[in-house]
Amino acid sequence: MSTYAPGTPIRVEMSKWGERPHWEFDGIHLGADEHGEWLGVPAGTHHHRPGAEFHSQVAAVTLVPRGGWYAATLHAPGSWVDVYVDITTPGVWDGDVLRMVDLDLDVVRLADPLPEDVREEAARRGHVAGAIYVDDEDEFAEHQVTLGYPADVIAAARSSCDEVLATVRAGLAPYDASHRRWLDELSRRTAS
């Protein structure tokens, strides 16, 4: 668990198994509650990994549960996605840097309504506005072999994915809009 005051800048460094670089971005520590640590990611934040980069469209908050095998990002309205949960190893704090290993599986809840520019792609994939699904199961299966995931990591990732999927589908906290208080806190801290 971090010991940072709200407003402290935090660096998030995700990797793939075997210490391969993955997504990195900067955020703001917002606080903690019964679900874990909350980080704010303002709109326009630069995210990058080898071979790809983007600037976030909307503000988001990321929940890092204490000891949990995931990081849940909940977006402000205006994005193609409401909820995007990366199944990861438990987050490890190293000073003001938070590190996790991305284990491929993602639990996704699409926005409802979907922005016009993503409707066609969603339909092509068989998804509608508000759809909840697990993404990248093929990548998870492939990486179990090519990256050599240990059996206990495979089991923990699958268990976490199943639990998160059930919680998102049931609309339970923090996937019940209770994250909005953290979005409001981010907005307050980043208002010019």
- Structural domain includes residue 83: yes
pLDDT score of 192: 64
> What is the CATH classification number for the domain harbouring 135?
2.40.380.10
- Structural domain includes residue 163: yes
- Structural domain includes residue 140: yes
**Total structural domains within the chain:** 1
**Domain carrying residue 132:** 9-183
- Structural domain includes residue 30: yes
Instruction: Decide the pairing of beta strands 92-94 and 132-135.
Output: unpaired
pLDDT score of 35: 96
Residue-wise pLDDT for 89-107, tens only, equals 999 999 999 999 999 999 9
**DSSP for residue 58:** S
Residues 89/69, Cβ–Cβ less than 8 Å: yes
pLDDT at 1 over 90: no
Which residue is associated with the tokens 């630069």? 46
Residue-wise pLDDT for 117-154, tens only, equals 888 888 998 899 999 999 999 999 999 999 999 999 99
pLDDT at 155 over 70: yes
- Structural domain includes residue 192: no
Residue-wise pLDDT for 2-60, tens only, equals 578 999 999 999 999 999 999 999 999 999 999 999 999 999 999 999 999 999 999 99
- Structural domain includes residue 52: yes
Put simply, whether the predicted model's pTM sits higher than 0.85 gets the answer: yes
- Structural domain includes residue 191: no
Query: Where does 50-158 show beta strands of DSSP type E?
Result: 52-55, 60-64, 70-75, 81-88, 92-94, 97-110, 132-135
pLDDT score of 191: 84
- Structural domain includes residue 189: no
**Nearest-5° Cα angle at 122, 49 to 135:** 50
